[in-house]
């Protein structure tokens, strides 16, 4: 399918956070007619207007749109859909998500007349925008949940192409696969696994009498060097650039730390994701006002590695520590 044969639907972007802004800007620059749907007076309304977009309340923004992209946080999507989108989207329009959680777990049951698709760039919004601007793109995965028009696939590919994803790589998936692998990656490796591993390593060194500053550099600061090598060429590239001593330590000690019991607990995490336990717990937590979430978060913020790290990073003049940039990167 050539780019010239792809449709050019009018698009309403609902939400203007990191991803929402990147999607809106890239799609507009790719020739799409883009309107932004935001709560009047909300914190991002002025930003979207400053970027030159027509901004309307979500219920108004979606009325004439051929495609509506839901890019608000997961836990508010159900209410946004029920209150603003479902009653106002035109017949036969297309509903797009960048994460399949609400649809896959049945919190949103899209109208029967709608096409329902997913397009998820594999990178934060700032990167999606930056790569587009320099003529490249971030890989996107895409899926079709409901195809009423017979053109849902073409709409997904058109949207992904408009983001710049076709310049890199487009991979077909399903709502189930995207949702479950995304949640697992965050919990077991990228966020939960990595942060817990770093904290445990720091604690072991400090409890053994080593300086906290040295421990910070060894288990957190230098992790970026390894992750960059992973990113550039996988484990193969990492092994090419570390010493033979580090390689030998990798081979004999890595499996002692991440052993078969860890994989079993990862399988338990995956099971909770697959059967909906995690999502039910997260919904209940959100509806209760986030008491455990806030307690867990504060514990991470108060961890000694954060106290030491803040002092050390203040002396790293090469870092841009602005809160906006940090949040964009996340």
End-to-end CA distance of the chain: 34
123, part of any domain: yes
303, part of any domain: yes
Domain total of the chain: 2
My answer on whether 113 and 237 are in the same domain is no
158, part of any domain: yes
323, part of any domain: no
Boundary residue ending a domain (173, 207, 232): 173
My answer on whether 145 and 69 are in the same domain is yes
Whole-model pTM: value is 0.92
Q: CB of 98 within 8 A of CB of 121? A: yes
My answer on whether 152 and 257 are in the same domain is no
270, part of any domain: yes
My answer on whether 34 and 73 are in the same domain is yes
My answer on whether 150 and 74 are in the same domain is yes
**Structural domain containing residue 228:** 190-314
181, part of any domain: no
Boundary residue ending a domain (145, 173, 201): 173
Cα 20 to Cα 98: distance, rounded to the nearest angstrom: 10
Hey, which residues are catalytic here?
99
My answer on whether 130 and 243 are in the same domain is no
My answer on whether 260 and 156 are in the same domain is no
My answer on whether 254 and 162 are in the same domain is no
183, part of any domain: no
Cα 33 to Cα 329: distance, rounded to the nearest angstrom: 28
Task: Give the 3-state DSSP-derived string for 195-211, with helices as H, strands as E and coil as C.
Answer: HHHHHHHHHHHHHCCCC
- Binding-site residues from annotation for substrate: 243
Cα 220 to Cα 160: distance, rounded to the nearest angstrom: 35
My answer on whether 247 and 149 are in the same domain is no
Q: How far apart, in Å, are the Cα atoms of 77 and each of 69, 74, 252?
A: 11, 5, 46
For residue 31, the domain's CATH number is 3.40.50.720
Q: CB of 294 within 8 A of CB of 285? A: no
Backbone φ and ψ of 252, nearest 5°: -95, -25
My answer on whether 79 and 145 are in the same domain is yes
Q: How far apart, in Å, are the Cα atoms of 160 and each of 40, 165, 214, 234?
A: 28, 5, 44, 25
Closest CA to 184 of 270, 109, 92, 246: 270
Boundary residue ending a domain (173, 207, 240): 173
1, part of any domain: no
My answer on whether 164 and 217 are in the same domain is no
My answer on whether 209 and 143 are in the same domain is no
Give the number of other Cβ atoms within 10 Å of residue 245's Cβ.
Answer: 8
- Binding-site residues from annotation for Mg(2+): 182, 186, 218, 222
Question: pLDDT by residue for the chain (330 residues), tens digit each?
Answer: 556 678 899 999 999 999 999 999 999 999 999 999 999 998 899 999 999 999 999 999 999 999 999 999 999 999 999 999 999 999 999 999 999 999 999 999 999 999 999 999 999 999 999 999 999 999 999 999 999 999 999 999 999 999 999 999 999 999 999 999 999 999 999 999 999 999 999 999 999 999 999 999 999 999 999 999 999 999 999 999 999 999 999 999 999 999 999 999 999 999 999 999 999 999 999 999 999 999 999 999 999 999 999 999 999 998 875 545 445 444
pLDDT at residue 5, rounded to an integer: 76
């Amino acid at each position: 399918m050539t780019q010239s044969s792809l449709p050019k639907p009018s698009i309403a972007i609902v939400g203007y956070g990191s991803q929402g802004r990147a999607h809106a800007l890239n799609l507009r620059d790719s020739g799409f007619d883009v309107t932004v749907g935001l709560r009047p007076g909300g914190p991002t309304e002025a930003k979207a207007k400053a970027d030159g977009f027509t901004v309307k309340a979500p219920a108004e923004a979606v009325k004439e749109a051929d495609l509506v992209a839901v890019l608000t946080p997961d836990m508010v999507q159900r209410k946004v859909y029920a209150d603003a989108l479902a009653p106002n989207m035109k017949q036969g329009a297309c509903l797009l998500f960048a994460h399949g959680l609400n649809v896959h777990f049945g919190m949103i049951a899209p109208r029967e007349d709608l096409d329902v698709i997913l397009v998820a760039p594999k990178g934060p919004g700032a990167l999606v925008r930056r790569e587009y601007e320099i003529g490249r793109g971030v890989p996107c995965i895409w899926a079709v949940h409901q195809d009423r028009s017979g053109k849902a696939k073409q709409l997904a590919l058109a949207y992904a192409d408009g983001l710049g994803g076709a310049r890199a790589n487009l991979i077909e998936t399903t709502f189930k696969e995207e949702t479950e692998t995304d949640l697992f990656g965050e919990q077991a490796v990228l966020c939960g696994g990595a942060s817990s591993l770093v904290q445990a390593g720091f604690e072991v060194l400090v409890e053994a009498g080593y300086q906290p500053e040295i421990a910070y550099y060894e288990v957190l600061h230098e992790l970026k060097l390894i992750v960059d090598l992973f990113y550039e060429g996988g484990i193969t590239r990492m092994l090419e650039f570390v010493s033979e001593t580090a390689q030998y330590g990798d081979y004999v000690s890595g499996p002692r730390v991440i052993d078969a019991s860890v994989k079993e607990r990862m399988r338990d995490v995956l099971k909770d994701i697959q059967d909906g336990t995690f999502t039910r717990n997260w919904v209940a937590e959100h509806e209760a006002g986030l008491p455990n979430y806030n307690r867990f978060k504060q514990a991470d913020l108060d961890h000694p590695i954060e106290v030491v790290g803040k002092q050390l990073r203040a002396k790293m003049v090469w870092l841009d520590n602005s809160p906006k940039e940090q949040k964009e990167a996340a």
